A and B are shown apart, each in its own frame.
Chain A
Amino acid sequence: MATTYEIINKTTLGSDAAYIEFTSIPDTYKDVILVGSTRTTKTSINDEAELKLNGTAITGIRLFGTGAGVACDTIPIMLPTGANATSNTFDNFTIYIPNYASTTQYKSVSIDQTGENNGTTAYAVFIAGLYSSNTAVSTIRLTSLTGSYVTNSSFYLYGIKNS
C-alpha cells in the first residue's frame, strides 16, 4: 500500500555542529516537512539560524513574539533556543516546503517555531519564505549563525505524497 507520510532522513547530534544539511533529497514526494528540536551554544536566550535551499538563503517575512512584545520584519531567520535558556530545554519547529521538487516555479516555505524558557523571554515565530529558483530542492541546510547546534539537537525530514 502506498504510504503518504514517510521519513526521508533524520539525525540527532552526538556532538555540537555549526550546521545540519540534508543532501540528495529525492524528488519522489509532493511536499517535504522538516521538524526539529534544537538548542545552540550562543550565550543568549536565542540564537539565529538561517535556512538555505540548494545553497541559497530564503527571503521573506517573519512575525515573532518575544514573550513581552511582537515584531515583524523581512528577515526570515529562525530563532532557535540558546544556551542561556533554561537548561536541557530545546525548541520545537516545523518547516513546510510544498511542491519542493517543482522545476517550473519558485518554492514557498512556511515555518512555525516555538522556544521555551522559564522566564519572560521565549520566542514564537511564523516565517513565510521564498526560494527564488525553479530548481528542485535537493539540499536543505540549517546553520546556527552565532553558536553551534548542541548535542541532542534533532532533525527529521519527512516526505508527503499526494497519491
Chain B
Amino acid sequence: MIGNIVAGTFSAGVAPVTSSYESIASSTLGSSQSSITFSDGGAWADYKHLQLRVMLRGTDSRTNVSGYLRFNSDSGNNYSSHNLYGNGSSAGSDANGLGNSSVNLRDLISAGSLSNTFHVLIIDILDFANTSKNKTVRILGGNDKNGGGTVSLQSGAWYNTNAITSMNISLDNGDLGTYSSFALYGIKD
C-alpha cells in the first residue's frame, strides 16, 4: 500500500500504473485556419484531466486579439472568465466576461505585433468528465513583444455538468496563423 488518505476515514492506496501523463493529439498549422477543434472519439475515456498546451498567433492586423474557448460546440451564454494579469506596467484583475458565449482568452498576440512571436497558454481542465460539476479551467499564459505583452493567470467556467467531449479555439477576428500549435494531453488517475 502506498500512501493513505484521511478524510475522516482511512482508505487504501492506489496501485501504481503506467505513466499518468500521455499525449492524445496535436496539430501544428501549416497554413492559417479559422479554428482548431479536439474531439473525443473514445480516446479520452482513460483520462481524468486534460491539459492543452497552446502556442498561437493570429492573422488579424491588430497587435492583439481575443480568443474563444468553447466546449461541446456550446456557443450559448454559458461561460464566465476572470483574469489576474500583469501588462508590464501594472498588475490587475477583472471579470473578463460573465454570462458569455465562451471562455475568453484575452490579449492574444496577432499579426500587427513583433514578427515570429507567439502567445503561449497552458490550459488545465480537471475532472473534465465529471457529470456532477460544471467545468473550471485554469490557464497560465502570456506573450512578450520586446516592449509589449502580458502575463496572466486566467480562469474560465463552462456552466454545464456534461462531460467535455470536444473543445474549440477560435479568434474574434482573423484566423489562427501558420506555426500555431496545439497539443492535447490526458492525465490519468
**Given A5-B19, A22-B3, A23-B3, A120:B95 Cβ within 8 A:** yes
8 Å CB contact of B49 from A26, A35, A67, A114: A35
Which A residues touch B156, using CB under 8 A?
A: 116
Tell me, rounded to whole Å, the shortest Cβ–Cβ distance linking A19 to chain B: 7
**Given A6-B16, A21-B5, A114-B154, A37:B98 Cβ within 8 A:** no
Which B residues touch A113, using CB under 8 A?
A: 138
Main secondary structure of the interface of A (DSSP, over half): strand
A122 to B84, CA, bound (A): 10
Interface size on A, residues (CB 8 A): 61
* Interface contact B3-A26, CB-CB below 8 Å: yes
- The number of residue pairs between A and B whose CB atoms lie closer than 8 Å in the complex comes to 193
| B21, B125, B137: most-surrounded residue (chain A CB, <10 A) | B21
Q: Which residues of B contact A (CB under 8 A)?
A: 1-8, 11, 13-14, 16-21, 48-49, 80-85, 91-95, 98-99, 124-127, 130, 132-134, 136-140, 153-157, 159, 161, 187-189
Q: Which residues of A contact B (CB under 8 A)?
A: 3-11, 13, 17-26, 35-37, 63-70, 86, 88-94, 112-122, 124-126, 149, 151-152, 154-158
